């Protein structure tokens, strides 16, 4: 099972191949631009290098992460438990059945049975869990996913292993069952 970090490393290697520049060279472009705002960096990379939005987004996140690593820790950075959260979510999902396929993509892991029923996408402070459950109304942390990702009906933000509780497992089970 791929970890969050392994998925990001694959994405970065693909970016290097696509644009013929190392990540360090791309960081120099970002540094040389003098831009600090994420959206401005993304727009600059798209315009100046011809990057896709997703690639520019990842490069901007890497640039921001490198800047944050040079600052004293404020406690607001990425949670050290995210890899554990990601691995635990994949384990919980895999318990649903032997017919589950985990397909790592650029920036997320698609989870399928006969069709996709969930996805895990790392964020800075949590793992976004997208679910397809059109008959279930949003409620509390089981929020609508429309503005985040239109392919899913619901999103759950999972920041700690404790967030992987019976309620989340029941939503995962329902999405799995609906994908039969």
Per-residue DSSP letter, 135: T
CB 56 within 8 A of CB 41: yes
Contacts of 85 (CB under 8 A, 6+ apart): 79, 126, 127, 158, 159, 160, 161, 163, 164
Number of separate domains in the chain: 2
| pLDDT values of the chain reduced to their tens digit, one per residue, 180 residues | 567 778 788 888 999 999 999 988 898 888 877 777 888 888 999 999 999 988 888 898 888 777 554 333 334 444 556 888 888 898 888 888 788 888 777 678 889 988 999 999 888 788 999 999 998 888 889 999 988 888 899 999 999 999 999 999 999 999 999 998
Question: Quick one: which H or E segment has residue 4?
Answer: helix 4-19
Do 174 and 86 belong to one domain?
yes
Range of the domain at 126: 82-178
- Give domain status of residue 163, yes or no: yes
Do 169 and 108 belong to one domain?
yes
Do 64 and 89 belong to one domain?
no
Do 89 and 63 belong to one domain?
no
């Amino acid at each position: 099972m791929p970890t969050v970090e392994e998925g990001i490393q694959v994405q970065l290697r693909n970016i290097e191949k696509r644009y013929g520049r190392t990540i360090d060279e791309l960081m120099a472009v970002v540094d040389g631009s003098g831009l600090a705002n994420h959206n401005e960096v993304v727009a600059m990379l798209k315009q100046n290098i011809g990057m896709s939005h997703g690639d520019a987004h990842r490069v901007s996140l890497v640039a921001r992460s490198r800047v944050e690593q040079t600052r004293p820790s404020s406690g607001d950075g990425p949670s050290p438990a995210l890899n554990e959260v990601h691995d635990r979510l994949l384990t919980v999902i895999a318990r649903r059945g032997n017919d589950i396929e985990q397909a790592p993509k650029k920036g997320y892991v698609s989870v399928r049975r006969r069709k996709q029923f969930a996805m895990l996408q790392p964020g800075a402070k949590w793992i976004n869990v997208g679910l397809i459950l059109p008959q279930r109304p949003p409620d509390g942390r089981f929020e609508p996913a429309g503005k985040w990702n239109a392919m899913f009906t619901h999103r759950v933000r999972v920041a700690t292993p404790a967030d992987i509780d019976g309620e989340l497992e029941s939503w995962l089970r329902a999405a799995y069952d609906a994908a039969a």
